[in-house]
């Protein structure tokens, strides 16, 4: 499209999320618009979000084509691109949904056929809401009653005190992460602030850094050592970046997205010492803390390790993030999450809360789900048996699916896939024949994007190319979720194997 042509007829976007994709629209003249591609915030133009990028847009188009009866070599699109468990058939946890039903329709508390602990919980939550209704705004950092339960959850998890006033509820972890990143938007001594993020990374980080004009300082995870985090690599990345920016923060995702590793306690300890040495604000993205599968792997929160190692390292500033979108809950659409703030300058924390208050409050239904996660039914309570059965079934099934995916990929020619120790994704590395790399270049695509597009067009399987997360130059990966239900996953992996054989044969001679 020629944006300089003042009478262009069409506007559309190929890089936007499918949910926000602009419809093709008729535009009279560029001059009639206050905001144009020439004067829009340039940071927004730079922003990319691969998890919902061009491949996903194409997948949505294919779905529409199938609905209209188009003949394709497959009958449905399998969306293995996004960590949205319910969209892939996971059923909700009954306790969470029952409490939500009761708080939204309070007459059910008296008339409904719900367990007594559900009713009691709903009464308590409503009692903490203005006018006894989830339709009212809450305080901007969330309902105090629920913040207290989150603090208790953290104390149980870590064995160390947590202060409820340092807990801030949010509409999913994403908003909390973005709120904290905003604190760093400041040029000091003529240099922008830099934030260290893992490569590969979850693209919320690269997208938000681009949006806020913060410098992305990538450090590579060590694929040959189970995507571990090597302190020498952190030192290298920091030293390189320090020429161009003031490196002020470090992001760690544990368990990892897209890489599926669970950091060892020793590794976490060294990261804390590194952050302390360089006076970095630490973002601990711990949204997958319930998703740990591999034998010998265990989740350790940064807060717990910080407290264990003690002085002088325990004064680093830490924000840790949690959500109801992941774990065994998978309640992505309810938009509930929290952050715990540790060791922040009280003035800074007050300004952060002020900034959050401009957004009024997180969704009350998201907060209700947070309460159910932070304070699940206890043994002996009426909802306990069902809750533990459902939770265990989800996590056991994810565990099996994680193994099934890794085993299959590792049997495929040219594939190498690390164990999925945790989270919800596999990120295999694969070789591509030189002819395929050439064909990709001829189409102006990165080789992994070329492969993923061919996979989508020929099989209906939608994955995200590794370039959307970052990878070492010359290596190719993609991310698939482990979320398709077992039967569909088996079907997907069979189709995948056949596709890969055909693709390799096509480009090998
Ligand atoms: C590592 C990581 N952090 C944060 C989020 C954001 O989750 P939400 O905003 O749904 O809570 C996700 C979602 O996939 C994620 O994978």
Query: Strand, coil or helix: what is 210?
Result: helix
Mutate to test the pocket of ligand 1, among 325, 338, 423, 464 (most ligand atoms within 8 A of CB): 325
Ligand 1: which of 176, 257, 426 to mutate, judged by most atoms within 8 Å of the beta carbon?
Answer: 257
The number of C-alpha atoms within 13 Å of 305 and in the hemisphere containing its C-beta is 20
Q: Which residues line ligand 1 (CB under 6 A)?
A: 83, 172-174, 202, 204, 253, 257, 285, 287, 323, 325, 332, 337
pLDDT tens digit sequence for 276-307: 999 999 999 999 999 999 999 999 999 999 99
Indicate the pLDDT class of residue 7, thresholds 50, 70 and 90: very low
Q: How far is the CA of 203 from the centre of ligand 1 (A)?
A: 10
pLDDT at residue 31, rounded to an integer? 67
At residue 17 the predicted structure's pLDDT band, cuts being 50, 70 and 90, is very low
Q: Where are the alpha helices (DSSP H) in 32-132?
A: 42-46, 54-67, 94-104, 107-111, 116-127
- Residue 24: its pLDDT value, please? 46
Residue whose pair of structure tokens reads 């659409």 in the numeric block:
333
Q: SS in 3 state form for 399-423?
A: HHHHHHHHHHHHHCCCEECCCCCEC
Q: Could you count the other beta carbons within 10 Å of the beta carbon of residue 256? A: 29
Ligand 1 centroid from CA 180, angstroms: 15
Tokens of 373: 């996660």
Question: Angle 172-182/346-357 helices, nearest 10 degrees?
Answer: 130
What tens digit of pLDDT does each residue of 193-247 get?
A: 999 999 999 999 999 999 999 999 999 999 999 999 999 999 999 999 999 999 9
- C-alpha dihedral (449, 454, 460, 461), degrees to nearest 10: -40
Q: Which secondary structure element, helix H or strand E, spans residue 340, and what is its range?
A: strand 337-342
Average pLDDT, the chain: 92
Per-residue H/E/C for 122-176: HHHHHHCCHHHCCCCCCCCCCCHHHHHHHHHHHHHHHCCCCCHHHEEEECHHHHH
Residue 256 CA, closest ligand 1 atom number: 1
Q: Which atom of ligand 1 is least distant from the CA of 174? A: 9
Compute the distance between CA of residue 217 and CA of residue 204 in angstroms, rounded to an integer.
14
Is the pLDDT at 473 greater than 50? The verdict is: yes
Q: How far is the CA of 138 from the centre of ligand 1 (A)?
A: 23
Cα angle 428, 431, 436; round to 5: 125
Specify the residue for token string 């603090």.
151
What top-level class would CATH report for the domain 166-359?
alpha beta
14 pLDDT more than 60: no
Q: What's the rounded mean pLDDT across residues 260-274?
A: 97
From CA 421, how far away is CA 406, in angstroms rounded?
A: 10
Is residue 227 a contact partner of residue 261, using CB atoms and an 8 Å limit? yes
Say which DSSP state 474 is in. Answer: T
pLDDT tens digits, 343-390: 999 999 999 999 898 788 999 999 999 999 999 999 999 999 999 999
In the chain, what percentage of residues exceed pLDDT 70?
A: 93
**pLDDT at 51 (0 to 100):** 60
Nearest partner of 434 among 476, 406, 400, judged by Cα: 476
C-alpha count within 13 angstroms, C-beta hemisphere, residue 11: 17
The fraction of the chain above a pLDDT of 90, given in percent, is 86
Q: Probe ligand 1: pick from 52, 88, 172, 333, max atoms within 8 Å of CB?
A: 172
CA 326-293-417 angle, to 5 degrees, is 95
Residues constituting the chain: 509
> From ligand 1's centre to the CA of 179, what distance in Å?
14
Question: Which of 444, 422, 447, 425 is closest to 434 using CA atoms?
Answer: 447
**Ligand 1 center–CA 434 separation, angstroms:** 36
Q: Using the mean position of ligand 1's atoms as its centre, give its distance from the Cα of residue 308 in Å.
A: 27
Q: How far apart are CA 277 and CA 215, in angstroms?
A: 20
Kindly tell me the sign of the dihedral angle through the C-alpha atoms of 129, 134, 138, 140.
Answer: positive
State the closest ligand 1 atom to the C-alpha of 337, by its place in the atom list counted from 1: 11
pLDDT at 29 over 60: no
Q: What's the rounded mean pLDDT across residues 310-318? A: 96
Note the pLDDT of residue 49. Answer: 66
Which residue ranges does the chain devote to CATH 3.40.640.10?
A: 166-359
Residues of the chain with CATH 3.90.1150.10: 50-88+391-507
- Residue 77 β-bridge partners: none
Lowest mean pLDDT among 1-10, 86-95, 360-369: 1-10
pLDDT of residue 295: 92
The pLDDT tens digits of the residues spanning 116-135 come to 999 999 999 999 999 999 99
User: Which tens digit of pLDDT belongs to each residue from 180-197?
Assistant: 999 999 999 999 999 999
Q: How many CB atoms lie within 10 A of CB 187?
A: 11
| Positive or negative: CA dihedral 53, 472, 281, 189 | negative
Q: Which fold has domain 50-88+391-507?
A: 3.90.1150
Q: How far apart are CA 105 and CA 112, in angstroms?
A: 10
What per-residue confidence (pLDDT) applies to 363? 96
End-to-end C-alpha distance for the chain, whole angstroms: 37
Distance 174 CA to ligand 1 centre (A): 6
Structure tokens at 3: 């944006």
């Amino acid at each position: 499209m020629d944006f300089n042509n003042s009478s262009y007829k069409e506007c559309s976007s190929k890089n936007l999320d499918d949910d926000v994709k602009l419809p093709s629209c008729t535009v009279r003249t560029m001059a009639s618009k206050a905001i144009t591609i020439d004067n829009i915030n340039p940071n927004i133009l730079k922003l990319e979000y691969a998890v919902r990028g061009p491949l996903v847009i194409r997948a949505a188009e294919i779905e529409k084509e199938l609905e209209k009866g188009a003949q394709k070599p497959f009958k449905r699109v399998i969306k293995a691109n996004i960590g949205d468990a319910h969209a892939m058939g996971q059923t909700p946890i009954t306790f969470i949904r029952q409490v939500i039903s009761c708080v939204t329709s309070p007459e059910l508390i008296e008339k409904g056929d719900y367990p007594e602990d559900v009713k009691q919980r709903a009464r308590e939550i409503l009692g903490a809401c203005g006018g006894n209704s989830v339709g009212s705004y809450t305080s901007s950092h969330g309902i105090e009653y629920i913040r207290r339960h989150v603090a208790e959850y953290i104390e149980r998890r870590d064995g160390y005190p947590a202060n409820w006033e340092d807990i801030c509820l949010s509409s999913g972890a994403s908003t909390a992460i973005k709120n904290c990143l905003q604190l760093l938007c400041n040029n000091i001594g003529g240099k922008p602030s830099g934030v260290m993020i893992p490569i590969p990374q979850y693209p919320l980080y690269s997208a938000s850094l681009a949006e806020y004009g913060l410098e992305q300082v990538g450090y590579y995870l060590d694929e040959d050592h189970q995507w571990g985090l090597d302190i020498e690599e952190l030192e290298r990345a920091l030293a390189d970046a320090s020429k161009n920016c003031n490196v002020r923060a470090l992001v760690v995702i544990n368990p990892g997205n897209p890489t599926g590793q669970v950091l060892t306690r020793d590794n976490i300890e060294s990261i804390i010492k590194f952050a302390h040495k360089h006076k970095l604000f630490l973002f601990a993205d711990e949204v997958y803390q319930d998703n740990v599968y591999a034998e010998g792997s265990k989740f350790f929160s940064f807060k717990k390790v910080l407290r264990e190692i003690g002085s002088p390292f325990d004064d680093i500033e830490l924000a840790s993030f949690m959500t109801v979108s992941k774990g065994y809950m998978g309640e992505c659409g309810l938009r509930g999450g929290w952050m715990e703030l540790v060791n922040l300058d009280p003035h800074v924390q007050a300004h952060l809360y002020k900034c959050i208050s401009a957004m009024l409050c997180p969704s009350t239904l998201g907060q209700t789900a947070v309460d159910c996660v932070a304070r699940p039914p206890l043994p002996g309570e009426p909802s306990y048996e069902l809750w533990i059965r459902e939770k265990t079934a989800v996590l056991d099934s994810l565990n099996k699916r994680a193994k099934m995916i890794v085993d299959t990929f590792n049997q495929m020619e040219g594939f190498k896939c690390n164990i999925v120790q945790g989270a919800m994704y596999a990120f295999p590395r694969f070789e591509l024949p030189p002819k395929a790399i050439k064909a990709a270049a001829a189409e102006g695509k990165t080789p992994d994007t070329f492969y993923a597009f061919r996979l989508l067009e020929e099989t209906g399987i939608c994955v995200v190319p590794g370039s959307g997360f970052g990878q070492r130059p010359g290596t190719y990966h993609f991310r698939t979720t482990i979320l398709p239900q077992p039967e569909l996953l088996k079907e997907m992996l069979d189709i995948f194997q056949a596709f890969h054989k055909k693709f390799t044969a096509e480009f090998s001679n």
